[in-house]
Structure 1
Amino acid sequence: MAPPPKHFGRIKAHPPLAAPGQTIGLLGGSFNPPHAAHRLISETALKRLGLDKVWWVVSPGNPLKRRSDQAPLAERMVLCRAVAKNPRIEITDFEVDLPTPYTASTLAFLKSRSPLVRFVWIMGADNLASFDRWRNWREIFTTVPVVVVDRPGWRMKALASKAARAFAAQRVPETEARLLAHMPAPAWTFLTGPLSHVSSTALRNKAKARSQSVAKRVHAPSELPWRKAAPEAAEQPKVEAPPVSDTAAAG
């Protein structure tokens, strides 16, 4: 479970400033590396939900991923700032000063520090598909509203997931998405729209393949810097048109 609020008084974490009444979207992750699809998801949430800002909450470590595949936090922060390219997207690493890296604890901390700010958790459909693997995932849904943004190839899996089924009665129609930030949790919606095929995993694999190819030619170790993928990470995402209807997949 997330630490009780009384423990948060001793924590020195400093998230970005937010005024009472503001609506803040939270896009958490390792951003290893960040890419244009992260920006697309954020800008979709900003526009469709009418949010004031989106914070990229860059995690010091993802409990579900191998640490050996992860670049240093400082490098990921620099790349996030380069990729975001939007004054309404703020980059923060305050989780490094929290006692645990788990989202439920992060949300409890933010709610205790800024009870009058309206937070919304943002995630891609690929995350919803396996959301039941997250620690205290039900607590996340009952702490803040959640917006799920469509990702290529994940829509049906996400909407049929354990988490989606568990909170099916609390799903808000996409046409009412602008109301989500002002609703009490649990409440969530699924947004369709332009889709980007870019992913952090694909960028890492491409960078690894490229460095292995170079290593073979020069007879050198293949461990070249992972950030060789960075220029591609900031490119405009290739997008495809959204599906015609949201209700067909939901039914």
Structure 2
Amino acid sequence: MTGKKLCVALLGGSYDPVHDGHVALGAYFSSLLQADLLRVIPAGAPWQKGSLGASGQQRAEMASLAFAGLTVPVTIDCQEIERSEQGQATYTIDTLRQVRTELGPQASIVFLMGADQLQRLDTWRDWQQLFEYAHFCVAARPGFALNDTAMPQAVADEFSRRLGTLERIRNTPHGLTYLAQDFAVDISATEIRAALHGGTRANSLVSPLVLDYIEQHNLYKS
């Protein structure tokens, strides 16, 4: 890969359960960035959410099934689950530090997220240091803008001043941001769990392989 940096996209989430919105987000940005690898990172014990309906291993296995059909190489990174099982906190800043240590200082590391996560970014541990380890690409939602009244001013300012092109993000290690205004997926894992509780398979929102897994393991039942 002479003259071309390694580019690894990271997509974290509870994946409780993984749904088509997660897969679409990973596929969209991996294509835009011409990423060499999509690294899917199931959360351990996300401190901003309540208890999860599936175990760490089950969520990792569901993610593996859901992302298997993408053209970009995909790996399931279970480091946050492993830390959680050891009784350790699982913060994104620690995950990015570990990935940076593994990939070295020159690789382009790109953290993918939705606009809803961006609006809470200032509540994340050491959030301003996150840019020292990765770029951030965000999928907008209908009507969303960086001056959204729900957006913390500090986050909007930080994100705006770091805006970069996809080419620069692809060819530099970290520190830039990108907002995909033309991409938005409105699928809620909460809604999917509610449908599953009610006996609906949510066929249009979740991979058939994942739905079969959910049924086989008797997950999300009322």
Which TM-score applies when normalising by structure 1? 0.69
Q: Does 1:187 align with 2:170?
A: no
* SS of residue in 1 equivalent to 2:145: helix
> What CA distance in whole angstroms lies between the structure 2 residues aligned with 1:137 and 1:200?
25
The match for 1:201 is: 190
- CA shift, 1:140, in A, is 1.0
* 1:233 alignment partner in structure 2: 206
SS where residue 156 of structure 1 aligns?
coil
After superposition, the Cα gap between the structure-2 partners of 1:136 and 1:70, relative to the gap in structure 1 and judged at 3 Å, is farther
Counterpart Cα distance in 2 of 1:53 and 1:151? 25
Which residue of structure 1 aligns with residue 14 of structure 2? 30
Q: More helix by proportion, 1 or 2?
A: 1
In structure 2, relative to structure 1, the CA distance for the partners of 1:118 and 1:186 (3 Å cut) is closer
Q: 1:43 aligns with which of 27, 49, 64?
A: 27
Unaligned runs of at least 5 residues, structure 1: 1-19, 215-227, 236-251
1:79 is matched with 62
Q: Is the 8 A contact 1:50 1:178 kept in 2?
A: no
Q: CA deviation at 1:49?
A: 1.5
Flag the structure with larger Rg: 1
Query: In the alignment, is the contact (CA less than 8 A) between 1:23 and 1:118 conserved in 2?
Result: yes
Answering whether residue 119 of structure 2 is matched by residue 136 of structure 1, we say no
1:25: how far off?
A: 0.3
**2:39 is matched with which residue: 36, 46, 55?**
55
**Matches of 2:114 and 2:97, distance apart in 1:** 21
Distance 2:177 2:146 in 1: 16
Aligned to 1:197, the other structure's residue is in SS state coil
Q: 2:76 aligns with which of 91, 104, 121?
A: 91
The count of aligned residue pairs is: 195
2:213 maps to which residue?
none
What letter is aligned with 1:117?
A
Partner of 1:165 in structure 2?
A: 157
Q: Is it true that 1:146 corresponds to 2:162 in the alignment?
A: no
The verdict on how the C-alpha distance between 1:158 and 1:65 changes in structure 2, with shifts beyond 3 A counting, is farther
The structural deviation recorded for 1:158 is 7.4
Query: In structure 2, the residue corresponding to 1:123 is in which secondary structure?
Result: strand
Report the RMSD for the aligned CA atoms in angstroms: 2.5
- 2:212 match: none
The change in CA–CA distance for 1:178 and 1:43 in structure 2 (over 3 A counts) is: farther
- The CA distance in 2 between the partners of 1:101 and 1:158, in whole Å, is 30
Provide the rounded CA distance (Å) in 1 between the counterparts of 2:146 and 2:160.
Answer: 14
Q: Is the 8 A contact 1:125 1:158 kept in 2?
A: no
Alignment of 1:212-251 (within 5 A): 232-234=205-207
* Aligned-pair CA distance for 1:36: 0.6
Task: Among all aligned residue pairs of Structure 1 and Structure 2, give the percentage whose two residues are the same amino acid.
Answer: 21
Unaligned runs of 5+ in 2: 209-222
Q: TM-score, normalised by structure 2?
A: 0.77
C-alpha contact (below 8 Å) 2:147/2:156 kept by paired residues? yes
Q: Is residue 33–residue 79 contact of structure 1 (8 Å, CA) maintained in 2?
A: yes
